[in-house]
A and B are shown apart, each in its own frame.
Chain A
Amino acid sequence: MDLSFWILQFLNAMQYSMLLFLLSIGLTVIFGLLHFVNLAHASLYMMGAYIGISVAAMTGSFWAAFFLAPMFVTLIGAVLYFTLIDRMRTAGPMNQVLVTFGLIFVFLDLVRMGWGDIALGLDGPASLSGTTRLLGVDYPAYRLFIIALGLGVMATMWLVLARTQIGAMIRASVENTNMAAALGINVSKLFFLVFCFGCALAGLAGVAAAPILSATTTMGITILIPTLIVVVIGGLGSLEGAIVGSVIIGFMETFGAVMIPSFSAVLTYALLAVVLIWRPQGLIPARG
């Protein structure tokens, strides 16, 4: 086990963390602003992967899929917003969880009808198909791309939230929605925009993950649990929480698999239990 081994595992952990980050950030931003627990977020991730596969098959280009799939998913999100999400906003968390849980079932069968039961794959772009030398190790270029994508989204969001007017409006609405509305911020428009943005990120995560993970009809349900664990450990609704949560889970699962493989199946659950017993609101609870 020399240094290059640990560098490889570090990169593996980073890659997995960033994938989790892309998924959980959308979920947590929606919760932070709308106070809506959208379990169907995982289904939108699945839609991103499947739509991406279809777009790539039609156009023959991964990049077309990469850009178009999140747009289609955003469209689905917008439809959901006007049919269900908006009217469920004040219905309480229990009802929101149930409605979006129902949506998971609906999306599951929609995908089975549209794409069949057989697992599908998506080829990554040819330009990223090989390995790249980094820190003295050869690492798959596409995985580096995922790391870069995650870091890029993270930095962009940080900048937008901290430096721009819309960021200020979002922060104000997270702190106190009523006050923000009183100050003349069009809160419902803001909600819609943020919801669409969250859906786009879910679609992006789906299409970005497809070349590494295959697309299966159960991928939404299986990714739901790790994503929820990430946002709950971090603290539901906080951007920092999503970052901390995904890095903790990503690194723990990777190094758990390396060092104590026989316990890796329960490691995340054990961590979740410990965190919630110790800090019932997660590590970095959202304000407001």
Chain B
Amino acid sequence: MKNIATKLALVTGLCLNLGFTMISTASAETKVGLLLPYTGTYASLGNAITEGFELAIEEAGRTEEFTIVIEDTEMKPPVGLAKARKLVYQDEVDVIAGVVSSGVLGAMRDFIHQSQVPLIVANAGNNLATGENCSPYIVRVSFSNGQINRPMGTWLSENGVKTIYTLAPDYAAGHQMIDAFTEAFTAAGGEVIGSEFTPFGQTKDFGPYLTNAQASGADGIFVFYAGGEAINFVKQYGSFNIKTPLYGSGFLTSPLYVEAEGDAAIGVRASLHYIPTLDTAENKAFIKAFQAKYNTMPSEYAVQGYDAALALMAAVDNGGVDRATLASQLPHVSYVGPRGPLEIDPATNNIVQNIYIYDTVMENGALTQKIIDTVPAVRDDVAGCQM
């Protein structure tokens, strides 16, 4: 009898002890919710961002310190919001990272703001999220739609392009990208002589639009397309043998898609916040590590995931231990990453970063990116943002 009682006591003690140790490590841990699409049209973006995020944590040797809970938004705003609520109330995460689509971000915005759980946006570029609808709890390490395109507008005008014809898909992001470009281009003295928005996700044949653009007689065509639409557009532009040069938001010839676009992408000039051929020590180290782990070249999406993790770790190092302290530390993060020097602008919580103007070129039989110019430290205006 006595024996059993001792055993029981031992076991109970062990359990208590285990419970105790678990609790004590839990308090030192940071729990991160990764909220990304893993199914649907943008599943590849969700996967790339996850790869970047996990690489950064692993590289820093801090996998023990961060618990990652992964949730699929399916690219549907209501699903994204439901999963965000789950992460906050059930998994009790300290911080959420991810969000690819602006629709999902829009659906989550009020909830994040009210529940005061910091959100690190790793893609969705909606200007309003760090403008009119900004929140002290929403920090963006990716880009804003305006940020990518404004520098290109100014740059093109200063480099002798006088008239432009614009094309983009007819949805909110498409309009924001083109509006930002047009504003900067006209302010610098250029003229947009024609503009069309193509039905989003439905347009398979860009022939009619390309013919229109060519007939307009503009000096150049400026477009924003991403994903499958970018491939279609660039290939069809190439097949028509159009003499008018093609400029674009850098997603057009993203390294993720440029191979599928083939020779048609050669000579397309675009602006983006990350180019894999950046000649910096940070970028080279990043590419080496990324290739070693995933055996493929990183895209701008992978970098966004990587930087989301770097920003988070920096905030933790500055004393962020829970939701409140992480939220107060995140807007003050600054470091040099694969993209170059980065900082969060506390006035909007949007990232301040270089924008690179680059050409897609053929080198040694492979398509690669050649940086033409760098617009340093591009900062968004405080457009109606009140923290």
Checking B41, B44, B197, B228 against A261 with a beta-carbon cut-off of 8 angstroms, the contacting residue is B197
Q: Is A116 an interface residue (CB 8 A)?
A: yes
Residues in A neighbouring B85, C-beta threshold 8 A: none
B interface residues with partner A (beta carbon < 8 Å): 40-41, 43-44, 47, 170, 196-199, 201-205, 207-209, 211-212, 215, 227-228, 231-232, 235-236, 239-241, 256-257, 259-262
A140 near B201 (CB under 8 angstroms)?
Answer: no
Residues in B neighbouring A143, C-beta threshold 8 A: 207, 239
Q: Is A118 an interface residue (CB 8 A)?
A: yes
**Given the contacts A9-B208, A218-B41, A119 and B228 also touching, CB distance less than 8 Å:** yes
A261 near B236 (CB under 8 angstroms)?
Answer: no
B239 near A12 (CB under 8 angstroms)?
Answer: no
B208 near A265 (CB under 8 angstroms)?
Answer: no
Interface residues on chain A, size class: 35 or more
State A276–B196 Cα separation when bound (angstroms).
Answer: 30
Most B CB contacts (10 A, CB to CB) among A131, A213, A222 go to: A213
**Given the contacts A1-B215, A212-B236, A214-B260, A138 and B241 also touching, CB distance less than 8 Å:** yes
Which of chain A's residues 201-222 have a Cβ closer than 8 Å to chain B?
A: 211-214, 216-219, 222
**Given the contacts A211-B235, A258-B212, A15 and B197 also touching, CB distance less than 8 Å:** no
Residues in B neighbouring A118, C-beta threshold 8 A: 44, 256-257
B211 near A12 (CB under 8 angstroms)?
Answer: yes
B228 near A142 (CB under 8 angstroms)?
Answer: no
Residues in A neighbouring B170, C-beta threshold 8 A: 265
Q: From residue A112, how far is it (CB to closest CB) to chain B in Å?
A: 7
Contact mask for chain A residues 4-24; partner B; CB cutoff 8 A; 1 contact, 0 none: 010011001101100100000
Top-4 shortest CB links A-B: A121-B260, A214-B231, A12-B207, A265-B199
State A253–B205 Cα separation when bound (angstroms).
Answer: 9
Give the nearest-CB partner of A142 in chain B: B239
State A15–B41 Cα separation when bound (angstroms).
Answer: 26
A212 near B208 (CB under 8 angstroms)?
Answer: no
Which of chain A's residues 116-165 have a Cβ closer than 8 Å to chain B?
A: 116-121, 123-124, 129-131, 138, 140, 142-143
State A96–B91 Cα separation when bound (angstroms).
Answer: 43
**Given the contacts A138-B241, A140-B241, A214-B231, A121 and B207 also touching, CB distance less than 8 Å:** no
B211 near A8 (CB under 8 angstroms)?
Answer: yes
B235 near A212 (CB under 8 angstroms)?
Answer: yes
Checking B205, B236, B239, B241 against A254 with a beta-carbon cut-off of 8 angstroms, the contacting residue is B205
A112 near B43 (CB under 8 angstroms)?
Answer: yes
Residues in A neighbouring B212, C-beta threshold 8 A: 258
Q: From residue B238, how far is it (CB to closest CB) to chain A in Å?
A: 9
State A262–B195 Cα separation when bound (angstroms).
Answer: 11
Q: From residue A30, how far is it (CB to closest CB) to chain B in Å?
A: 23
Q: From residue B54, how far is it (CB to closest CB) to chain A in Å?
A: 17
Which of chain A's residues 91-116 have a Cβ closer than 8 Å to chain B?
A: 112, 116
